[in-house]
Structure 1
């Protein structure tokens, strides 16, 4: 290939995927990008003069990156020696997130197999929006350093990125609570674009927004929001409160102020963050002017007039009825240096990197408005005045952090009487988390003696004045909040069972759910049929992906989650949770190959393996020992392994499982007894009988070998979760494959005297299992009736499978069935009508030509309902008809019509529908 003569700004993002849980690239949530270097593939960093120095000038934090060298400056060493720009982009993406305050160090860059110049970049993220924005900006920056363009202002672009990060970031209070939850291993989900957070899962879930929690009573919030009512309640309990009156007119405010006595305070009845509060009003004119301000911030139009208490402003934080922190709040101000004007001092103060807009940072920028200018003038200055060195100049009367104030930690200085008063105030209002505002000369002295009072009780108080005080030690107040929601020893997680595999995962999931349902557990289950909560179908859809998993974990009724995990969901978004207690892998067979980069069985196994990698040390993986790809997954499991196998005694697989048990492990095996085949559980040297396979309804007397394996897998999962053997046994004995318990999976019924099985089989591996069942079941029926039972199958698969997969399905079916009707799905998935059916039929013909088939009749009927009708028409009494369906509900409706209008004479010649006859009942 010809190499480019000059580097061009060719770095582009070809695709982006956001993983919201463990995935094929990482144990954690990650962003995966495929980038194309174009001509830059020929220009590693050592061939780009000045590139490294210019990049370090713009992002000096890259010096801290160790990269594969393992020491500070390692990445810089790699750039100076020469590394490709995909790798550079990865580190820039991580550093940009560091600039936004997201401490992330996880990233990797790998070339795309077989595609020159294309790379997979995988980076960790805390916030999806920030991670994606960092990715785009990193690519833009690398291209600009390769070939600068006019009008590119790096500082402007960086500021825009940081502003995006600040808009989506959690506030200090939310962040503090989340940090504490994560440190305890409590899972969380963001429920909206704001700060509504769920901690825990299912029945153990709690929610909070800012500092309002699931335990915060609505009535308590209403009381705290009504300042007049709050004053009345506290005053009637003997707590010190200012004298106050409620008014709705300007004249009413003036008269109330006269009765109370100047100076007074006016505040909106239901305001917050200090908005509309006017202090130290000493005459009627000041009251009139302040009334308009307070009235403008009142949602209900009421204004409270109360006596002005002199002293310092203290916020007491009460959590769970106990005082946890106290901060002295100092109003926004500047201190003269004898050189700078008041306006310049404000600019210098706002330049503090800790200050931001609103609540986005630990301090808020001071806002110079008309009220601030008037306050400065009242102190004898203007904004252009130069205050003497050391002279403080107030810019706000209220001490709220949201108006630019600062805080000083006083937690361990308060007098015990004041602590008692604050705790009692919170209990009287009924708040689990309350901010009690004291005005008093000194918090170290009893307020009853010094003349102080409680001026306000706040619901959802901010934490930042306590977690990030301007002066003093920070208080770790998130701990008592989490203790309140999750007392020590209280669970936060529900057990999660993840079931994956090419075939059998839906039936296995249903078996597990059925076992625990019988134990009285409320189970949430995801499957290809929908989301089921406590036996109720709450959403009908293919729900085997991560979003459905999150919906189950949000449901407050769920005590156990059983997740069917499909390949597509893992590739699309990863798992919908951070870990699963039990992983079940049924098998890995040829299906979905050639899609989304999955070319081989090893590739497919790597995707299925994600659920095994998500097992914690105290968890379990229930693995099919008969499948070599599943056996290999044991090396990727942090927890214990429980094997299940249907192999014959004496085989190498059987011996491996026995060796595992001798070392203290657990496994499920089959043993022949005088009364029949028995599923046994081995744990170390102990052997416990579980159930005879022929007594399990789902196995059809042992003929359905795939359901024997599925039952063993389900039993292994239940045992891993601590279910008693008697309950596991009872669950398997009562689980049937009728349409109501297992729709579309081995549903057996009698139609027009023929045995009809409805199943979802759609790949060659599944067809081998289904064909084996048909052979065993048909032979048994032949022996019972002394007549050979004809085996008829309606088959199809999805059009997005490879041509060879479609042909293999036909070849496999032809080895087991006498008559085959080939149909097509309603969704052709990109193929022309009739093409997929013809490929399946060609596979059947190839098998017939090779002499490896039993098929004597082959037809193509592309419409599913018409194919059902044709299959039934080809059947005689006692024959076995296997219908591999796409829309099981539609097919079952059609079969129901036949059973309601059965006849021994056959069919109406006009439309192939049965003619009713009272002499015959199906």
Structure 2
């Protein structure tokens, strides 16, 4: 143990989970931190650490930690806790400083690594959470040993500013809060305020307070103040006299025609910028014209009669008044001792005031216009106004210029309410801000001389949700009601499929079933993203980003996601929950990567899907796999079992007991006519289909596809599909290349029976080997003169363990007469030839076993296409060739070429017909 602590806390690895993950049911940030020498120094051994930390972040006193009560974390600090745990709480406290109410976190040691910890905590905004983690580590190290270059106050202020830059504005946040309260999912589409509410076909978009239902024409009309006034005037609504000018001389003449005083404003301005009031002379008009024209995008300036009165904003949502606020221009009130400048500083010190729209009030800006206005009232900025004197700093009551708001929602005269609603209808806006100028909103404006001075698209909500005076109005409710009326759905059904083997085929089967029902299915798999049976992206799309891509597609009304281990470990699920989770199997594959060293740990990763099932959802689990069977304890919804075991087996007895309690399951029963898939629901049993009649099962010989069909049928049944639609889907799904590329595709090439499959690991090779034996035995029985050979081209990925590669070769040796070992294009960190060498070692080891194995010859041909050519050259008619592919399109194109050559006759290679273009390799395959 060192004598004194040194600031050794470092972040070794950072991951951002964007959905449910192995550590949390919701999105989280995962840090792997190394304490170094600080492992020997818990907090109670570092003098002054706790006191200084609490002084800097007093919010930590509220943290309950594991004690479950306020102050629990402080108790842990006093007793002594490790600094990785402290970093977790500091990151949470920093997010709470900027208004993100995040409380989820945990710290766990990394097994076998002293002083290294997994630190996990929730976040609301990804960038803010990451910034909080970095600042937390800096602060902890600073408290261990003071860093002269670290200024805590400056660092905290910069962190707050960063959070404010990425935060949603008050209007957007209000809508999102309401959506979340109704369980409506949302996705941020850019770094600003463009947000999708809902999923797939049910999705709606908002940008601040504009929605996907907002008319573009209506926005254009509202942006043209002259046109707006003309339309409203033609409808008989009270509007000021107004003329549109482009030169200062014309503006002066217009002011004289209208009559002083007049208001000058940009034709297409916003937020009150460039609006000049109280122009009572030609000189005033000339001065104001320059200011207004500078804010006009097209150079046009409006000159209109000035309506005297108070400034009111009427918020119209879906044709009805939702809120009314009186807007009071920025001003200060004298106290008899402070200068105007000091009064402004005092007002801006209000914690409710911030820059722009970041807070409920905006800081008062002292510019030349404000100084001039103060001077016109008889003061300079350095003067001390008398106590009670009211000094205006702006003429308009916009919140963006420092004004305040007073709620007047329930005080407006009914006639004024009708006028505001009619104005919104005339312009055509679903959400509109109608600006009234009138002496008193409680009296009819037609009698008091008031008028509508402006109609605004995308009006701000904060003057209504956070009024300076009065009750806040919950105006996000009618917005969400408009987008999602009561009873409307916002989610699409999601079926997620995981397992070591069979994920892609099962996903395709489920998609095929629902496509047959007329659904627009979005599917992700290791082959790409498919929308309504059209391949949009050809890539490994079994991760969370591809899932979000499907959920954003406006055509999709049903989603099927293949979920791989890597995506879960890297980013989580990428969505909140799945209605149906399918777990096929858990086998020792991809071990030794990302901290997953045992098959039990791998099962924990795949169980994330089961934990993401809601109470009204289902988990479809393989009852024959002990690790999958244990996942039932993690499911909040119902469990649907599927099993290949025969009646009388202990697994079937467990399933029977489950069904007696009203549960669901799919099993296999033997009948006189063959093996039958049976649906069990409570005491009922319903026959689904004979396995030998399903094309994908090769007359029942492909046992892996019998299991996949069980899982797919169970998932479809859990998702509400009728039995006849499930039956029809399974009967019409085959493993031809067009429906299931790279998965048990059968091709006859000049009499050679070729099977193309993606098999790439030892458990998959066992199942493929069983299929090869069943198919091979049937072929041998039909050939009396010579036994057909079984040739296998095998390979595996370079990121697997050496023993896994050898095991693949050992298993293949039991099922093939000739094994040709190739390698993938992507070696994943291995040297060329290294992977093939390890697989070959496994084949040779099996061949050397006492009693021997089927394999009599093993060869290495590293290039995939060369391996195919080599195998085809040595294959005879009647032989069985199994190709475990990496780039299936390239392999199918090569086989098509061989088939064309054979058809054209020997020696006709140069004149052979072109290969099928659908088999041509894509850029990803090349």
Per the alignment, residue 896 of structure 2 pairs with 896
Cα distance between partner residues in 2 of 1:423 and 1:547: 43
Give CA deviations for 1:35-64 in whole Å, capped at 9, x if unaligned: 011111110011001110011111111111
DSSP-derived class of the 2:477 partner: helix
Question: In structure 2, do the counterparts of structure 1 residues 621 and 914 end up closer, same or farther at CA, with 3 Å as the change threshold?
Answer: farther
Cα offset, 1:25, TM superposition: 0.5
**Alignment map for 1:618-629 (pairs within 5 Å):** 618-629=616-627
Per the alignment, residue 746 of structure 2 pairs with 748
Cα distance between partner residues in 2 of 1:451 and 1:550: 54
Cα distance between partner residues in 2 of 1:678 and 1:746: 22
**Alignment map for 1:603-642 (pairs within 5 Å):** 603-642=601-640
Cα distance between partner residues in 2 of 1:527 and 1:70: 43
**TM-score, normalisation: structure 2:** 0.97
Per the alignment, residue 241 of structure 2 pairs with 243
Counterpart of 1:226 (choices 219, 224, 227) is 224
Cα offset, 1:754, TM superposition: 1.0
Cα distance between partner residues in 1 of 2:783 and 2:416: 92
DSSP-derived class of the 2:686 partner: strand
DSSP-derived class of the 2:782 partner: helix
Per the alignment, residue 556 of structure 2 pairs with 558
Counterpart of 1:345 (choices 323, 327, 343) is 343
Per the alignment, residue 828 of structure 1 pairs with 827
Counterpart of 1:323 (choices 318, 321, 324) is 321
Answer yes or no: is the 8 Å Cα contact 1:216–1:431 preserved in 2.
yes
Cα distance between partner residues in 2 of 1:202 and 1:432: 23
Cα distance between partner residues in 2 of 1:35 and 1:916: 62
Per the alignment, residue 410 of structure 1 pairs with 408
Cα distance between partner residues in 2 of 1:549 and 1:834: 35
Q: Which moved more, 1:659-668 or 1:419-428?
A: 659-668
**TM-score, normalisation: structure 1:** 0.98
Say if 2:801 is the partner of 1:792: no
Cα offset, 1:743, TM superposition: 0.6
Per the alignment, residue 21 of structure 1 pairs with 19
Cα distance between partner residues in 2 of 1:826 and 1:310: 77
Per the alignment, residue 569 of structure 1 pairs with 567
Cα distance between partner residues in 2 of 1:706 and 1:591: 17
Answer yes or no: is the 8 Å Cα contact 1:739–1:747 preserved in 2.
yes
Cα offset, 1:5, TM superposition: 1.4
Per the alignment, residue 336 of structure 1 pairs with 334
Question: In structure 2, do the counterparts of structure 1 residues 223 and 914 end up closer, same or farther at CA, with 3 Å as the change threshold?
Answer: closer
Answer yes or no: is the 8 Å Cα contact 1:898–1:914 preserved in 2.
no
Say if 2:745 is the partner of 1:783: no
Answer yes or no: is the 8 Å Cα contact 1:903–1:915 preserved in 2.
no
Cα offset, 1:905, TM superposition: 9.0
Cα distance between partner residues in 2 of 1:872 and 1:703: 24
Cα distance between partner residues in 1 of 2:491 and 2:454: 38
Answer yes or no: is the 8 Å Cα contact 2:904–2:912 preserved in 1.
no
Cα offset, 1:906, TM superposition: 8.0
Cα distance between partner residues in 1 of 2:328 and 2:551: 44
Cα offset, 1:916, TM superposition: 7.2
Answer yes or no: is the 8 Å Cα contact 1:779–1:789 preserved in 2.
no
Per the alignment, residue 865 of structure 2 pairs with 865
Per the alignment, residue 916 of structure 2 pairs with none
Answer yes or no: is the 8 Å Cα contact 1:865–1:891 preserved in 2.
yes
Cα offset, 1:782, TM superposition: 2.3
Cα distance between partner residues in 2 of 1:699 and 1:914: 38
Cα offset, 1:859, TM superposition: 1.1
Give CA deviations for 1:865-885 in whole Å, capped at 9, x if unaligned: 111112222322111111001
Answer yes or no: is the 8 Å Cα contact 1:528–1:544 preserved in 2.
yes
Say if 2:837 is the partner of 1:808: no
Counterpart of 1:597 (choices 587, 595, 598) is 595
**Alignment map for 1:725-736 (pairs within 5 Å):** 725-736=723-734
Give CA deviations for 1:329-356 in whole Å, capped at 9, x if unaligned: 0000001111111100000000001100
Cα offset, 1:292, TM superposition: 0.4
Counterpart of 1:698 (choices 679, 696, 699) is 696
Question: In structure 2, do the counterparts of structure 1 residues 422 and 33 end up closer, same or farther at CA, with 3 Å as the change threshold?
Answer: same
Cα distance between partner residues in 2 of 1:87 and 1:899: 65
Answer yes or no: is the 8 Å Cα contact 1:499–1:583 preserved in 2.
yes
Per the alignment, residue 435 of structure 2 pairs with 437
Per the alignment, residue 484 of structure 1 pairs with 482
Please list every run of 5 or more consecutive structure 1 residues that lacks an aligned counterpart in the other structure: 918-922
Cα distance between partner residues in 1 of 2:389 and 2:92: 45
Say if 2:819 is the partner of 1:837: no
Per the alignment, residue 513 of structure 1 pairs with 511
Cα distance between partner residues in 1 of 2:856 and 2:99: 70
Question: In structure 2, do the counterparts of structure 1 residues 904 and 389 end up closer, same or farther at CA, with 3 Å as the change threshold?
Answer: closer
Counterpart of 1:286 (choices 280, 284, 287) is 284
Cα offset, 1:915, TM superposition: 10
Q: Which moved more, 1:648-657 or 1:121-130?
A: 648-657
Cα distance between partner residues in 2 of 1:669 and 1:213: 49
Cα distance between partner residues in 1 of 2:242 and 2:910: 86
Answer yes or no: is the 8 Å Cα contact 1:503–1:586 preserved in 2.
yes
Answer yes or no: is the 8 Å Cα contact 1:697–1:737 preserved in 2.
yes
Cα distance between partner residues in 2 of 1:670 and 1:434: 62
Answer yes or no: is the 8 Å Cα contact 1:752–1:904 preserved in 2.
no
Cα distance between partner residues in 2 of 1:756 and 1:915: 24
Cα distance between partner residues in 2 of 1:820 and 1:88: 56
Question: In structure 2, do the counterparts of structure 1 residues 664 and 87 end up closer, same or farther at CA, with 3 Å as the change threshold?
Answer: same
Counterpart of 2:121 (choices 103, 109, 123) is 123
Cα distance between partner residues in 2 of 1:619 and 1:705: 28
Cα distance between partner residues in 2 of 1:412 and 1:84: 56
Answer yes or no: is the 8 Å Cα contact 1:906–1:914 preserved in 2.
no
DSSP-derived class of the 2:667 partner: strand
Cα distance between partner residues in 2 of 1:583 and 1:914: 52
Cα distance between partner residues in 2 of 1:490 and 1:783: 61
Counterpart of 1:365 (choices 331, 342, 363) is 363
Question: In structure 2, do the counterparts of structure 1 residues 32 and 311 end up closer, same or farther at CA, with 3 Å as the change threshold?
Answer: same
Cα offset, 1:273, TM superposition: 0.1
DSSP-derived class of the 1:901 partner: helix
CA RMSD of aligned residues (A): 1.3
Per the alignment, residue 923 of structure 2 pairs with none
Instruction: Report runs of 4+ in structure 1 exceeding 6 Å deviation.
Output: 903-908, 913-917
DSSP-derived class of the 2:302 partner: strand
Cα offset, 1:847, TM superposition: 1.1
Answer yes or no: is the 8 Å Cα contact 1:779–1:788 preserved in 2.
no
Cα offset, 1:309, TM superposition: 0.2
Give CA deviations for 1:750-780 in whole Å, capped at 9, x if unaligned: 0120110000000010001101001111112
Counterpart of 1:474 (choices 467, 472, 475) is 472
DSSP-derived class of the 1:255 partner: helix
Cα distance between partner residues in 1 of 2:85 and 2:829: 36
Q: Which moved more, 1:827-836 or 1:389-398?
A: 827-836
Per the alignment, residue 69 of structure 1 pairs with 67
Cα distance between partner residues in 2 of 1:436 and 1:355: 25
Answer yes or no: is the 8 Å Cα contact 1:271–1:297 preserved in 2.
yes
Give CA deviations for 1:833-853 in whole Å, capped at 9, x if unaligned: 111111111111111111352
DSSP-derived class of the 2:522 partner: strand
Answer yes or no: is the 8 Å Cα contact 1:365–1:404 preserved in 2.
yes
Per the alignment, residue 920 of structure 1 pairs with none
Cα offset, 1:380, TM superposition: 0.9
Please list every run of 5 or more consecutive structure 2 residues that lacks an aligned counterpart in the other structure: 914-926
Say if 2:685 is the partner of 1:709: no
